């Protein structure tokens, strides 16, 4: 997702990133997306929090991070006066790594996930923390 300062009116989506300084964590999928899919001036940082701090300070004009990270940083730091633009621009999947020797643990995790999804609780949790598809 793309984050901007709350008063930013010119950046509304990826098409508006051409020639704009955009902060991103080095080596992330956001870094790859910015490099391959936009004409942004990519400014790389060692951590997402540094990219968002640079945005708040006016050193970059936007920042890109995974949706969970971007939303959490913006919501947890209201003093930065940032907002996250609507829209997700990459399709990524998350997983849970389990030692290949631990079939019992993998089974327990899969059964737990299936139960949470079947009950509808997964959707409630997702909506609470992400609020978008």
pTM of the entire predicted model: 0.77
Query: What mean pLDDT comes out for the span 70-92?
Result: 92
**CA gap 36, 39 in Å, rounded:** 8
CATH class of domain segment(s) 2-84: alpha beta
**CA gap 18, 125 in Å, rounded:** 36
Question: Which has more pLDDT, 74 or 67?
Answer: 74
Domain residues of the chain, as ranges? 2-84, 95-133
**CA gap 64, 30 in Å, rounded:** 6
pLDDT tens digits for 6-65?
A: 999 999 999 999 999 999 999 999 999 999 999 999 999 999 999 999 999 999 999 999
């Amino acid at each position: 997702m793309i984050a901007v300062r709350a008063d930013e009116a010119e950046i509304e989506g990826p098409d508006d990133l051409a020639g704009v300084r955009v902060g991103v964590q080095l080596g992330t999928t956001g870094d790859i997306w910015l490099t391959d899919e936009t004409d942004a001036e990519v400014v790389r940082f060692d951590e997402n929090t540094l990219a968002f701090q640079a945005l708040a300070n006016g050193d970059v004009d936007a920042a890109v991070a995974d949706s969970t990270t971007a939303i959490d940083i913006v919501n947890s730091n209201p003093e930065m006066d940032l907002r996250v633009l609507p829209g997700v621009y990459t399709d990524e999947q998350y997983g849970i790594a389990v030692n290949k020797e631990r079939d019992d643990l993998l089974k327990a995790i899969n059964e737990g996930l299936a139960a949470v999804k079947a009950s509808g609780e997964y959707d409630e949790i997702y909506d609470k923390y992400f609020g978008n598809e």
